[in-house]
A = this chain, B = another copy of it.
Amino acid sequence: MQTFQPPRRVLMGPGPSDVSPRVLAALARPTIGHLDPAFQSLMEEIKGALQRLFNAPDHACVPLPAPGTAGMEAAMMNLLEPGDRAVVAINGVFGGRMADMAGRAGATVVTVEHEWGQPVDPARVEAALAEAPTKLLAFVHAETSTGVRSDAATLCGLARKHRALSVVDCVTSLGGIAVDAAAWGADVIYSGTQKCLSAPPGLSPIALSKAAQAAIAGRKEKVRNWLLDFNLLMAYWGGPEGSGGGGRTYHHTAPVNALYGLHESLVVLFEEGVQAATVRHARMHEALAAGIEAAGLKFLVEPKWRLPMLNTVIVPDGVDEAAVRAHVLKAWDLELGAGLGPLKGKVWRIGLMGESATPWHVRLCLTALCDALNAQGVSVDSRAVLAAAEGRLQQ
């Protein structure tokens, strides 16, 4: 057993994305104690930064000590208990996962199923909400499995109208397109670190509204999860109200170095500006899309609902999906994503997330993809493809 030296990789799959040298350097700073006064300051800064990033000034924000899935699990386990009704919109892998978790929390789960590649349909969701009193509406803002955005503002509004709490999965959207807890009136929003924040995977930032907190405080039985029990977590993180972290109660041992990394990724993001980062993601997507279309390839999702950071490209007839990914990995050290579930073998998922959303990444990806397609016997003019992308990059 020897020291592991990772190979060179360019990460343009569905996450993790490339991590900046600044964040990697932060991870390697010496570990301090999780009850250290200096660490407490770090926690307070992270809480405040997450409030700004989610635009959630009245929410309690913390980074959960586990991957993005933990945010989903925390939402479902804290808000739901046996007897509750939950409406879950499903238009990809992650909506399905939400429904599974809601069932484990003991709720009666009503799913609103959509074809993969379509956004969540507000009319069908409203019909499900109108059927019976509902505790919670859950949906995915940016479906990583399909590359589709759904209309979070409208869906949160429907939840409010029907007196349900809203749970919004922003794992892939946060830092890449507009996420606005206050404007949407979202009750629980969570994300991951390994997408548009470009920190390594392992943490899940989450924001809970006062209504969500009240619902948790009013539970009849204990949360079916100790590590993610929001009452215990908030006592550890020093309360929801910028209380300065006074009176912290020991809960788990925080993942200190991972939090150094998240903190630095937030510093990097605010230096650029959240709005500027959003514009950058949109621009890189447009350039990539111009190249993809110049190569004769098509997107799964119609333009209005496309995610800039997760591009789902249809595999042309006669092309071996996995062979293309294997080729770009071998020849270009480039990771692209495969399709999941019903899209397996039918699409590639190309990530343009955070540090991976740069002109260099657009150029490399298109070059490698043209190379792989030509190797498969599909003739593509890579010069024309790059020129199409370059035309958008220069605008």
Contacts and interface: CB of A to CB of B under 8 A. Distances in A.
Interface size class of A (residues with CB under 8 A): 35 or more
A254 B67 contact: yes
Contacts of A340: 250
Given A1-B267, A104-B223, A256-B200, A31 B19 contact: yes
Interface string A34-52: 1110110010010011000
Interface in A62-76: 65-70, 72-73
Given A103-B222, A224-B225, A267-B2, A255 B30 contact: no
A202 B257 contact: yes
Interface string A236-266: 0000000000000011111111101101101
A383 B2 CA distance: 43
Nearest to A16: B31
A31 to B, nearest CB: 4
Contact of A104 (B4, B224, B251, B267): B224
A225 B1 contact: no
A9 interface: yes
A202 B19 contact: no
A8 interface: yes
A24 B29 contact: yes
B252 A67 contact: yes
Contacts of A5: 29
Given A36-B9, A194-B253, A66 B73 contact: no
Contact of A66 (B28, B30, B34, B65): B65
A227 B70 contact: yes
A220 to B, nearest CB: 14
A364 interface: no
Interface in A59-92: 65-70, 72-73, 77
Given A257-B261, A270-B1, A28 B33 contact: no
Given A67-B252, A67-B255, A100-B226, A33 B13 contact: yes
The interface residues of chain A, by DSSP majority, are classed as loop
B34 A201 contact: yes
Contact of A3 (B11, B27, B202, B267): B267
A119 interface: no
Contacts of A263: 4
A218 interface: no
Nearest to A268: B3
Contacts of A100: 226
Contacts of A18: 30-31
Contacts of A103: 222
Given A36-B335, A253-B194, A267-B2, A27 B30 contact: no
9 contacts: A1-B267, A3-B22, A6-B31, A67-B227, A69-B226, A72-B226, A73-B226, A104-B223, A250-B340
Given A69-B253, A257-B258, 14 more contacts: A3-B22, A4-B263, A5-B29, A11-B33, A13-B35, A15-B253, A65-B202, A66-B252, A67-B253, A68-B253, A69-B227, A101-B226, A201-B254, A202-B258
